[in-house]
Amino acid sequence: MSDNRFKIVFDGALLPGVESTTAKLNLAELFKSDVEGIDKLFTGSPVALKRDLTRPDAETYLTALKNAGVDARIEAEQPVAFSLAETHETDAGASDFSRPAASPYAPPRAAVGEDLPEYATLNVFTINGRIGRLRYLAWTLVLSVAMLVAAGIISTVCFAIATASPTIAIILGSLLGFALFVALVVVSVQIGVQRLHDLGWSGWLYLLNLVPLVNSIFPLLLLVLPGNSGANQYGAPPPRNSTAVKVLASLWLAFIPLMLIIGLTLGMNGYLNQLEANVDSSYESSAITSDEDLDQSANAEEDQAQSAEDAGEPVDSPEQ
């Protein structure tokens, strides 16, 4: 009895109260696979998830699968025959077993999950896949620097052309600037959608950046919230962050406070300059008003003196 071997069989059944999506996500994390690979197990046909197990090992595997929400079962393996004739029959059966159409147990001969990637493939120019917080910061920094460099090159070229033909320079600069803006928007959306996928959210939520007030909070959520640790409906988790990603993310994190400080400094200087201009304007207005009052007082005194002189002069009476 100690030589008996067992296998874990699964035919797509789930435990009561477990949704299909939840079970697939749990299996994807258990097998270090993606959801698309796990979908192959839910065909309704019996699939041997693990073979050649002892009874304790089979019980351990079954417990893990039960925790994942799937209703698997333990079955005994076919005993190995020792006669030469039966061995030939077994070989023939094995030959038939290698053909998927000959046996419903053909799929499990490929180890489930082992041929699937442990991590997602990285690609900037797509809305598929997942990226974490640090990689999101790093890619955003690289995108910003690339756009600044491209804008500088376009400006230099247009200024050079403007010396010969200002009209052509304006038209060319407008077209290239518009193309650069479109490229910036497209790549930003692709990076943002991948970040949303890492959170398990739909990429359509990126449109919240167009909603007033919400667009001031939503980008912060992308920077703060951690992604799913395992596979989700958008694929396997992203690879571990490389040293370059960590350095670029750190530079971007240092750059953001620097920009805030610069913005606050410029705003404060502008406010102080405006306040000083208002004070100077008020002082000048007061000075002008004082001068006008003095002029009016002087004019009034002159008028009074003239009136007094006129009153003191003798008036010649007409001859009788």
Q: Return per-residue pLDDT of the chain as tens, 320 residues.
A: 456 888 888 888 888 888 888 888 888 777 777 777 788 788 778 888 888 888 888 888 888 888 888 888 888 887 655 444 444 444 444 434 344 444 444 444 444 444 445 787 899 999 998 999 999 999 999 999 999 999 999 999 999 999 888 999 999 999 999 999 999 999 999 999 999 999 999 999 999 999 999 988 999 999 999 999 887 888 888 999 999 999 998 988 787 777 778 878 887 887 888 887 777 777 666 666 666 666 666 666 676 766 666 665 554 555 54
* Nearest to 77, CA basis, from 95, 111, 53, 59: 53
**Residue 277 CA, distance from chain mean position:** 44
Torsion of Cα atoms, 65 then 69 then 74 then 78, to 10°: -80
- The pTM score is 0.52
Alpha helices in 163-242 (DSSP H): 166-198, 218-224
| Distance in angstroms (rounded) separating the CA atoms of residues 230 and 113 | 14
Q: What angle do CA 121, 124, 130 make, to 5 degrees?
A: 50
Contact 238, 135 (CB under 8 A): yes
| Distance in angstroms (rounded) separating the CA atoms of residues 128 and 121 | 9
Burial of 283 (0-12, 13-18, 19+ CB in 10 A): exposed
Structure confidence at residue 18 (pLDDT): 81
**Residue 23 CA, distance from chain mean position:** 27
Contact 70, 15 (CB under 8 A): yes
| Distance in angstroms (rounded) separating the CA atoms of residues 132 and 197 | 9
Neighbours of 115 (CB within 10 A): 9
**Element holding 76 (H helix, E strand):** strand 73-76
According to DSSP, residue 159 is labeled: H
